[in-house]
Amino acid sequence: MNSIAEKVVVITGASSGLGEATARLLAARGAKVVLGARRLDRLEKLASEIASSGGDALAVATDVASRDDMENLIQSAVQKFGKVDVLVNNAGIMPMAAMSKLKVEEWDLMIDVNIKGVLYGIAAVLPGMLNSKHGHIINLSSVAGLRVSAGVGTVYSATKFAVKAISEGLRAEVGGYGIRVTTLYPGAVASELVNGSSDAEASSAMKSFYENYEISADSVARAIAFAIEQPEDVAINEITLRPTSQEF
């Protein structure tokens, strides 16, 4: 199997932004999509829109910071569609603030969602993929997972560097079992992510940065589709994409 059609693709954070755009694109290309996020109303609306366009989608309320929820998401996919070909670990949060503001609860939340969420996703799909010697795990890092900017993004960057490390180690470990691993490093992409800062100073700096540079979420969806549609013996390991004019 080397195309997108008929693949079962589980996408976390599918209730908005990159996850939603990816679900729409892959469903239009014939994938069966399984949508995970906390806002079930949004997922159900998206699933019904996909179904009315002739696609297949399942909505499952999921908090990626809960290992039980992630296991349930994957089991729900298997029960409904019989398998999981691809997991897109996309859910993430970006509450920016200078470290000196000591937003320690937000540091904890970023670690729970951006790092543990990815690990719980891997834990939920890996046994089945190892067993079938087939599968594809796609993780969302960021350009902030490649560089640390001065100012407000230190802990967010730390979580995205962690995603890079996890992906790279996983790739080296499981490639021999026929499992592909892809990491994406996007720059500024239009979504709800930029609204996540409780710190007024960081929030307005981020919003004006995004207003200047952001590109559409479809750009990331297309990159994900490109990685999935390669023949099974080709793993697209890393994709960095930025708005053309963005330096960071």
Q: Does 38 bind ligand NDP (CB under 6 A)?
A: yes
CA angle 83, 237, 192 (to 5 degrees): 75
Report whether 7 contacts 32 (CB < 8 A).
Answer: yes
CB of 18 to ligand NDP, least distance (A): 4
Q: Which of 15, 76, 157, 183 binds ligand NDP (CB under 6 A)?
A: 15
CB of 188 to ligand NDP, least distance (A): 5
- Structure-token pair, residue 1: 């199997």
Residue for token pair 């309320």: 61
Q: Does 137 bind ligand NDP (CB under 6 A)?
A: no
Q: Following DSSP, what letter does each residue of 35-101 receive, concatenated?
A: EEES-HHHHHHHHHHHHHTT-EEEEEE--TT-HHHHHHHHHHHHHHHS---EEEE---------GGG
Q: Which of 25, 47, 140, 236 binds ligand NDP (CB under 6 A)?
A: 140
**CB closer to ligand NDP, 105 vs 192:** 192
Task: Considering only residues 193 through 222, tell me which ones interact with ligand NDP, judged by CB under 6 A.
Answer: 193
Q: Does 91 bind ligand NDP (CB under 6 A)?
A: yes
Q: Residue 177 catalytic?
A: no
Part of the chain binding ligand NDP (CB under 6 A), chosen from 79-87, 90-98, 171-179, 230-238 = 90-98
Task: Considering only residues 106 through 125, tell me which ones interact with ligand NDP, judged by CB under 6 A.
Answer: 113
CB of 233 to ligand NDP, least distance (A): 28
CA angle 174, 235, 159 (to 5 degrees): 70
* Closest listed residue to residue 214, CA positions, set 237, 194, 239: 194
* Closest listed residue to residue 22, CA positions, set 116, 87, 72: 87
Q: Which of 55, 135, 186, 243 binds ligand NDP (CB under 6 A)?
A: 186
**CB closer to ligand NDP, 64 vs 170:** 64
CB of 162 to ligand NDP, least distance (A): 12
Give the amino acid at 57.
A
Instruction: Report the DSSP beta bridge partners of residue 215.
Output: 189
Residues that are catalytic: 156
Q: What residues make contact with ligand NDP under the rule CB under 6 A?
A: 12-19, 37-39, 62-65, 90-94, 113, 140, 142, 186, 188-189, 191-193
